Structure 1
Amino acid sequence: MGHGGDVINELTADHREIDSLFTKIQALPTGDPQRRKLADTLTMELVRHAVAEEEHLYPAVRRYVDDGDDIADKEISEHSEVERMLKELEDLQPDDGRFDTLMAELKRSVTAHMTGEESELFPVLAESCSGERLQQLGEFIRRAKETAPTRPHPAAPDTPPLNKLLAPGLGMVDRVRDALTGRGKE
């Protein structure tokens, strides 16, 4: 995921990509092994997206948006719940009944989160930041996704400065594991 443009366009494009992955998973029959591969791709995209938001978007929300601390805390809490679900999903095969149940729960949570960002958070951020700052944040988000972890790490810090220090190292380890196992390759 690296789409270009300001932070709002970048993250909205990510949201459409995530929606598309959910649609592809749902289109396949229960138990289809391809669902596991798509779930891995979805996990990778969601984790990178969340880490980038936690490193750059939410600190900007705290700084520029009225009541930004409360908004950022709510968003990070939602990320934590999604990450918990992704960690649980990681060990499930598509023929396990819990796979479909958890996937449905994950889709509801992620869709609600993305809808809230697009309808509430992004408009107030656009009003609070200059176009130049939004462009800069978009670039920061793209760079963060390049080094972000690709697997859920629910115990990892999700606020600066520790998240910015640890995420690239976790990301490197995850990418090595992905390369060795072929995870994320279609």
Structure 2
Amino acid sequence: MSRSIAQQSVDELGGQSSVLARQRRDHEELDRLMHRYASGGLHAAERQKTLKEIFQLTFSHAFAEETVLWPALRRLAPDGAELTARVEEEHQQINELATRIESTEPDDPRHDELTADAFALIRQDIREEEDVLLPRLQEVLGHDGARLRRLGTTWETVRRTAPTRPHPGVSRRPPGNALAGVPLSAVDRARDALSPPSPRTLWIAAALVAACVVGAALRRKR
């Protein structure tokens, strides 16, 4: 198996635009934000803003993995199903913890306890991806830089339009996550902008879900 992607050069990863390099940059940014949150030098409002940034990146990143990368790994590697099941369970646990965190006030002692648990899981997830899943994906793709870059472009496109909030009730796999992703992303990003989603936004989201369901049904029928 290939070395951890944490130990490889950008060229070995397939270049700056490869999916492996993009993944590692996100992991580094998450690590930076988690250290910033735990530093103790932030005012309460800035601390909560940092936590929000951590979760926005965590959930959009994980959604793109579950939509683009893990299906490819299951398709290409005999052990792909086993490897991705484990990391999807971690993603589910992080979703559930984040939901509980959102239900507590920042001055509630449980808030920091739950946040520490979530950060520990995020770091565990990063280690498993960088040491096991992503090197395995690199191996089955034959270290093909062009394929890694194409996969990176697809992954980045999905990440930039993915939900940014915890949704523990949504499937971790296609097509369930993809069907829910478009409307959830519209609502999440409206909430991130500090304005509640308008009735029009919700109507459009519902229409998109219906269109996705009908489209999937037609494709199955054909």
Could you state the TM-score of these two structures normalised by the residue count of structure 1?
A: 0.90
Counterpart-to-counterpart distance in 2, 1:73 and 1:97: 32
State the shift of 1:91 in Å: 2.6
Counterpart-to-counterpart distance in 1, 2:99 and 2:187: 16
State the shift of 1:165 in Å: 2.1
Matches within 5 A, 1:75-86: 75-86=87-98
Equivalent position amino acid for 1:59 in 2:
P
Q: Helix, strand or coil for the counterpart of 2:44?
A: coil
1:117 aligns with 2:143: no
Alpha carbons 1:7, 1:139 under 8 Å: kept: yes
Greater relative contact order structure (CA < 8 Å, 6+ sep): 1
Among residues 37, 40, 51, which one is paired with 1:25 in the alignment? 37
Among residues 183, 186, 189, which one is paired with 1:169 in the alignment? 183
Equivalent position amino acid for 2:58 in 1:
L
When Rg is computed on C-alpha atoms for both structures, the one with the higher figure is 2
Q: Helix, strand or coil for the counterpart of 1:93?
A: coil
Please, which runs of 5 or more residues in structure 1 have no aligned partner? none
Corresponding residue for 2:103?
91
Among residues 129, 135, 157, which one is paired with 2:171 in the alignment? 157
Please, which runs of 5 or more residues in structure 2 have no aligned partner? 1-15, 197-222
Corresponding residue for 2:10?
none
Which 4+ stretches in 1 moved above 6 angstroms?
Answer: none
Alpha carbons 1:36, 1:93 under 8 Å: kept: no
CA RMSD of aligned residues (A): 1.7
State the shift of 1:27 in Å: 0.9
Counterpart-to-counterpart distance in 2, 1:30 and 1:63: 45
Corresponding residue for 1:134?
148
State the shift of 1:28 in Å: 2.5
Among residues 155, 161, 165, which one is paired with 1:147 in the alignment? 161
Alpha carbons 1:44, 1:150 under 8 Å: kept: yes
